[in-house]
Amino acid sequence: MFNKILIANRGEIACRVAATCRRLGVKSVAVYSDADANAKHVAACDEAVHIGEASAQQSYLRIERIIAAARATGAQAIHPGYGFLSENEDFARACEAAGIVFIGPPVEAIAAMGSKAAAKALMHAAAVPLVPGYHGDDQDAALLQREADAMGYPVLLKASAGGGGKGMRVVERSEDFAAALASCKREAASSFGNDRVLIEKYLTRPRHVEVQVFADKLGGAVYLFDRDCSVQRRHQKVLEEAPAPGLNDDVRRAMGEAAVAAARAVQYVGAGTVEFIMTGADFYFMEMNTRLQVEHPVTEMITGLDLVEWQLRVAAGEPLPLEQAQLQVSGHALEARIYAENPARGFLPSTGTLKHLRMPQGVEFRLGDAGQRASVRIDSGVREGDTITPFYDPMIAKLIVHGATRADALARMRRALEECEIVGPHTNVEFLHRLVTSEPFVHADLDTGLIERHHDALFAAQNKPLREALALACAALIGREGGVAASASPWQSLAHWRLNSGFKQTFAWRDVESDAALSVAFSQDGAAQTLDCTGREEAYTWWRGAQAPEYGATIGDTHVTGRVFIDGDVFHVFCLGTAIAFEWQNLLAHAADAEHGEGRLTAPMPGKVIAVLVEPGTVVEKGTPLIVMEAMKMEHTIGAPAAGKVTEVLYGVGDQVADGAQLLMLEAG
């Protein structure tokens, strides 16, 4: 086994590989770009080497920098993860030339499978079933058109060097073929620098079922069963599961053996995935991915094995840890890819800071030793406060669950998705929840068109528990503005709160998602409180939970607990398995701001205190200058937001203060 390896990747997969290294006592070296200096994967490794600017071209794809980093740190091997350089022949060759072990297949196997067309020719020779189609060298446009016409429409055009769904075009009619071919070639040339295409019969309602294979350097090869990855958007996977539902033992074995035959045909070594497209019990080879797959955890969950450990052992020259007859499937596993993206806008990637990130109770990565498998596992490459940038893949985390049966796993997944709290970029969490509770998915009626076919149901407006969520938002607001621990409250708001006497106030809210205005009337008379968010006044009590953002409320007969993450005036309520955001229309404060201009007690920006004009006990009028700050070479005078008495001055001349820091305390009056 190696003493030290370098991980030429970032995000969750780099963290994932580092976890196995730690468990096996292998030292790990991270590489990072300018954008990732404080990334989780850097902290997850023992050492880290900076390799360039934020763009992948200038960092994670720079072969010479990565080899130099491995040399400088004495790493004996390089794990490429997935994406980036993982299927790059030049990189595998450069490792070899530098005397560093590439944790992956031999250069020749990458090359053989790198071209989908050439791979199909090889698979044909190895008697692996292929989708009917054309994958020849002759790329003459007229010939391609004749081939497509002969096959019968619809057909699918693919970039031979392709990946990630790029260049793929479904062609419905002969008349459309020429234009689709030109556009496929254009995208292929710009994405892969190679415009070779192949044509396949476009199967309707197929399933994507793939087989995990493993081979060692001593001639051993096994399959670690199958995964169904049919649930896709833009031909890219969203939900994966293992084993593939509904395969009988004969089909399972036949696919496994075909996948091993495919691997043997290219003298494969290491972890690989043979992707098949299926209709009924018929399966056809699509392509082989010569690396660890994003969805490998579902296979780990059903086999109890650590595939990264296997990769390291095989790369170090050890035999496969188990033989085919020793491998068994136990239970069922599901994986959901949580992306920063906006499903409502065509799954457009979304960026931004993860202001609040709370994943379900699970374990980070735990397999191996005693073969324990957690029932909920989270593989993530980010932490709260990190930013999803436009530079890299917008995946936030993978949520993986295991259960004795598919139904058990499904129940866990549903629950786990309900426990995800993410504030910042848009995410697909709610969409995933709808998917896993949708009828076709629940009944394992899987095919690659599932999302499109059920589009209307999956995107239909949902009835959210607005009343309950509002009851919690109001609790958090009252807690913040008038509660006992209100020291961080903007003082101008306090003046409007008289919670002990007969008092009535209307809270104006905006439902952030629908933009609807919501008006809630709160009243208090002595200990009796009522809330009216439905046109009906109901008895209301609220309380804070034991852990910071937890709140509870009863409204009428309804009892609800949840968590409220407050971001400025936006209250993100997580309750009853959903997330709802309300923006508080702070009318009084807005009016006060407009009236008093600068009136506030907090620093409007980071800067230095250059004068303190009041002291404890000073009685001030609205607008009296309190403190002068200097920031960005300009002076800013902080004036009193309203009349009152200074009780405490929290900073002195020369102090640096952070943006938003409270500068003094005032007592209204």
Question: If binding is defined by CB under 6 A, does position 206 make contact with ligand ADP?
Answer: yes
Helix (H, G, I), strand (E, B) or coil at 364: coil
Of 115 and 303, CB closest to ligand ADP: 115
Question: Is the CB of residue 155 less than 8 Å from the CB of residue 145?
Answer: no
Range in contact with Mg ion (rule: CB under 5 A) among 60-68, 273-281, 419-427, 504-512: 273-281
Range in contact with ligand ADP (rule: CB under 6 A) among 17-25, 156-164, 183-191, 409-417: 156-164
Question: If binding is defined by CB under 6 A, does position 104 make contact with ligand ADP?
Answer: no
Question: If binding is defined by CB under 6 A, does position 270 make contact with ligand ADP?
Answer: no
Of 399 and 629, CB closest to ligand ADP: 399
Whole-number minimum distance, CB 369 to ligand ADP, in Å? Answer: 27
Q: How far is CA 389 from CA 33, 353, 613, in A?
A: 12, 8, 43
Six-digit token string for 487: 């020291």
**Distance between CA atoms of 110 and 119, rounded to whole angstroms?**
10
Q: Which residue has the tokens 């429409």?
A: 153
List the single partner that 83 binds among Mg ion, ligand ADP, none, CB under 5 to 8 Å by kind. ligand ADP
> x/- contact string, 419-458, with ligand ADP (CB under 6 A)?
-----------------------------x----------
**Distance between CA atoms of 479 and 466, rounded to whole angstroms?**
19
Of 277 and 553, CB closest to ligand ADP: 277
Supply angle C-alpha 72, 54, 84, rounded to 5: 70
**Residue nearest ligand ADP, Cβ-based:** 83
Which residue, 288, 115, 285, is CA-closest to 192? 115
Q: Which residue has the tokens 């990334």?
A: 39
List the single partner that 293 binds among ligand ADP, Mg ion, none, CB under 5 to 8 Å by kind. ligand ADP
Q: How far is CA 451 from CA 341, 346, 351, 661, in A?
A: 16, 12, 24, 47
Whole-number minimum distance, CB 486 to ligand ADP, in Å? Answer: 45
Of 35 and 119, CB closest to Mg ion: 119
Q: Which residues sit opposite 572 in a β-bridge? A: 565, 581
Whole-number minimum distance, CB 577 to ligand ADP, in Å? Answer: 27
Q: Mark whether 291 is an active-site residue.
A: yes
**Distance between CA atoms of 499 and 475, rounded to whole angstroms?**
13
**Distance between CA atoms of 207 and 229, rounded to whole angstroms?**
8
Question: If binding is defined by CB under 6 A, does position 285 make contact with ligand ADP?
Answer: no
**Distance between CA atoms of 179 and 148, rounded to whole angstroms?**
13
Q: Which of 7, 123, 260, 294 binds ligand ADP (CB under 6 A)?
A: 294
List the single partner that 203 binds among ligand ADP, Mg ion, none, CB under 5 to 8 Å by kind. ligand ADP
Of 28 and 33, CB closest to ligand ADP: 33
Q: How far is CA 575 from CA 378, 430, 560, 625, in A?
A: 21, 13, 8, 44
Whole-number minimum distance, CB 55 to ligand ADP, in Å? Answer: 11
**Distance between CA atoms of 8 and 257, rounded to whole angstroms?**
32
- Distance linking the first and last C-alpha atoms of the chain: 73
Q: Which of 22, 54, 58, 82 binds ligand ADP (CB under 6 A)?
A: 82
Question: If binding is defined by CB under 6 A, does position 662 make contact with ligand ADP?
Answer: no
Whole-number minimum distance, CB 72 to ligand ADP, in Å? Answer: 24
Question: If binding is defined by CB under 6 A, does position 165 make contact with ligand ADP?
Answer: yes
* Annotated catalytic residue within 233, 291, 337, 412: 291
Q: How many residues bind Mg ion (CB under 5 A)?
A: 1
CA gyration radius for the chain? 30
DSSP character string of 480-492 = HHHSTT-TTS-HH
Backbone angles phi, psi at 572, to 5 degrees: -95, 110
Instruction: Tell me which residues touch Mg ion (CB under 5 A).
Output: 275
Catalytic sites, residue numbers: 291
Instruction: Tell me which residues touch ligand ADP (CB under 6 A).
Output: 56, 82-84, 131, 156, 158, 162-165, 200, 202-203, 206, 208, 232, 235-237, 275, 277, 286-287, 289, 293-294, 392-393, 448
